[in-house]
Structure 1
Amino acid sequence: MHISAKADYATRALLELACEPSRPLTCEAIASAQQIPFRFLKSVVGELRKAGLVRSQRGCEGGYWLGRPAGEITLLDVAHAVDGELITLRGESLAALGYPGPAAGLPAVWRQVEAGAAAVLGGVTLASLLPAAAAARLDRKGAA
């Protein structure tokens, strides 16, 4: 399984936003804090916005916030938002994959791998990954 740079950067950006739920953060601030290339992060944040995982506001007081509470955003949500399919084989979905003869059982194994990865990623929220101090701030604000 390959974890894309987009999924990694997207998750790190969302965790930065989750740590500061009371104020918007700029892409510049997030990129600097997480040592992510700004131009790449800008496109990733655009995909997160389209998926409803972040919301934005323009202007001098603008920036980005989480689109939902950190406790409601899973790593599976992030992966689907930026990568689409969780696991592909040669760029194709595993859903319709089929092999002839002695390899006929192999697609079922690949689908089990995908289901296992989805179960793990779907069970991890942004809130569960936050350091204790940030999680406590979320609890006080009722955002987790």
Structure 2
Amino acid sequence: MLRVTKLTDYATVILVALAEAPGRVHSSAELAERARLEPPTVAKVLKPLAHAGLVESFRGASGGYRLARPAHDIPLIAIVEAIEGPLGMTECSGEHSSCEHEAHCGVQTHWRRINDVIAEALGGITLAEMLPPSAARKAIPMTLASAPAGA
């Protein structure tokens, strides 16, 4: 099955929480509460996100984390690669292939093409697009009135 790891999923949820209040510094505990994750998990996810330049960290009593750049400038591929490393569908489809069968295998070109398509798809969606719809855009519940008597 092809899927991202739980940590990548958690990273997206945490980044969405940060993107909902851009510029504001959020404590790790606050992010854990908002994302409904354990604080050690949030800390584990924030470290590679900071290392990749997706979040900024601030020390001290009022320290915490915020997005390092606008949500519309953070493609999903950057999140995936911050947590999981370079995208590689197979051993031979990544940037640094180390497959011992590469010299006599005929499928490498096809896997690289598939890898490129997935990378392009992830690169074409930004964190901003992952934000939930704003309250103004949410559906308004409606009830239908009964038809007047005699109608």
TM-score interval w.r.t. the shorter chain? 0.7 to 0.9
CA distance in 1, matches of 2:111, 2:90: 9
**In structure 1, what is the equivalent of residue 77 of structure 2?**
76
Helix, strand or coil at the partner of 2:56: strand
Deviation at 1:48, TM superposition (A): 0.6
**CA distance 1:64–1:106, change in 2 (3 Å):** same
CA distance in 2, matches of 1:86, 1:113: 11
Deviation at 1:45, TM superposition (A): 0.3
Give the AA of the match of 1:76.
I
Task: Determine which structure has more spread, i.e. the larger CA radius of gyration.
Answer: 2
Identity percentage over the alignment? 34
CA distance in 1, matches of 2:88, 2:8: 13
**In structure 1, what is the equivalent of residue 140 of structure 2?**
none
CA distance in 1, matches of 2:94, 2:20: 36
Scaled by the length of structure 1, what TM-score is found?
0.80
Give the root-mean-square deviation of aligned CA atoms: 2.2
**In structure 2, what is the equivalent of residue 36 of structure 1?**
37
Alignment size in residue pairs: 131
**In structure 2, what is the equivalent of residue 94 of structure 1?**
94
1:9-68 deviations in Å (ceiling 9; x for gaps)? 111111100001142111212122222232122021011111110001122222110001
Deviation at 1:108, TM superposition (A): 1.7
Structure 2 residue runs without a partner (length 5+): 138-151
Scaled by the length of structure 2, what TM-score is found?
0.76
The answer on whether the counterparts of 2:87 and 2:94 sit within 8 Å (CA) in structure 1 is no
Structure 1 residue runs without a partner (length 5+): 137-144
**CA distance 1:89–1:68, change in 2 (3 Å):** same
Give the AA of the match of 1:67.
A
Describe how 1:44-123 pairs up with structure 2 within 5 A.
44-89=45-90, 94-95=94-95, 96=97, 97=99, 98=102, 100=104, 104-123=105-124
**In structure 1, what is the equivalent of residue 143 of structure 2?**
none
Q: Which moved more, 1:25-34 or 1:122-131?
A: 25-34
The answer on whether the counterparts of 1:75 and 1:124 sit within 8 Å (CA) in structure 2 is yes
**CA distance 1:99–1:2, change in 2 (3 Å):** farther
